[in-house]
Amino acid sequence: MLKRRIIPCLDIRDGRVTKGIEFKNNIDVGDPVLLSCHYSDHGADEIVIYDIAASSENRPPDFSTIEAIAAKSFVPICIGGGIRDFSDASRCIASGAEKVSLNSIAPRKPELISEIANHFGVQAVVLSLDVLIDESCPSGYRLFVQGGRTATHWDMLSWIEFALPLGVGEICVNSINQDGKRSGYDLLLLQKLKAHVNVPVIMSGGAGNALHIVEAFKEGADAALVASIVHSGEITIRELKSRCADAAIPVRLDW
């Protein structure tokens, strides 16, 4: 049985890790290189780095930061935010990332999914979704871009059905409604995704304790993104994994 993954998420703005609620009121959390190194050494299965202002500022990711993180971290790294074309994606991977996460650019340039997948393999392409509850959408969720600031015309499931065959290896879905609230993942959102896709699903937005992560894994999540609860230091990745193991969730316990 494939082991479930726990993945710290580092949102970076102006060279610092930041965290907010529903993508607002962000506070400073720390240095991205030091935090990445710490998580790498203490049980993270992967690390996701989002440059949360890059897309809205129309600039590429901070490649020097990626290189610095990759030099000190020994787990796979996924980079998102600011990837505008194949050159940006290629440079992320050359800087030390194993995967790139496509969000705002994907609805505008869906061919980029295929370009990256054809060159690096589908395992290098993560389709990142920021979704908000919207009862006018058939699935009940609308796709947002630009760091959750801009609504698209896409229903979540319609977008996935269109994008997946282009070369997506994995989906990371973030509930804007739950983001930073620490009240639990949107399990209905997870159920809808798992019923419609055959690629791994990473759940994001709302983890407040170990039980929330266990619940997501029991509902079929292949990985769980965590941010506030580990950034605050109130619980460690090791402790989260121990709770998962106690609940018979297969996780990696040796590092």
Catalytic residues: 11, 130
Exposure of 39 in the CB half-sphere (CA atoms within 13 A): 34
What element of type H or E holds 119? helix 111-120
Distance of CA 84 to the CA centre of its chain: 18
Q: How far apart are the first and last CA of the chain?
A: 19
Dist CA 209 CA 139 (whole Å): 28
For residue 15, CA distances in Å to 28, 36, 92, 153, 239 come to: 10, 13, 16, 32, 28
**Residue 232: both structure tokens together:** 């605050």
Dist CA 159 CA 197 (whole Å): 12
Any idea which residue has 């059905």 for tokens?
161
**Residue 107: both structure tokens together:** 């609805």
